[in-house]
Amino acid sequence: MTLSVIQKVYLLQINQQSEIYLGNRLEKSVYRQATRSNMLSNISAQDISNRIHRFQTFGIQA
């Protein structure tokens, strides 16, 4: 099967667009994971007890 020049250019463009799309998704995913792990590592025992206390203040049993 031989492809014309136009078909090759079209396939190349589709390939580049999908690579850009996947690259953007990967960056967002990595950023979200880094943010999530950073948030988790920044939570101290005092933060947790403050949050529980705040919940109980509003009548919510934690």
Domain tally, the chain = 1
pTM passes above 0.85 = no
Residue 18 inside a domain? The answer is yes
The three-point CA angle 45-38-52 to 5° equals: 30
Whose tokens are 């049993």? That residue is: 61
* 45 is a domain residue: yes
What domain range is 38 assigned to? 5-57
Residue partners of 3: CB distance under 8 A and separation at least 6: 11
Distance between CA 22 and CA 9 in Å, rounded?
Answer: 20
Q: Residue 34 falls within a domain, yes or no?
A: yes
**62 in a domain, yes or no?**
no
pLDDT tens, residue by residue, 6-61:
888 888 888 888 888 888 888 888 888 888 877 777 777 777 788 788 777 776 65
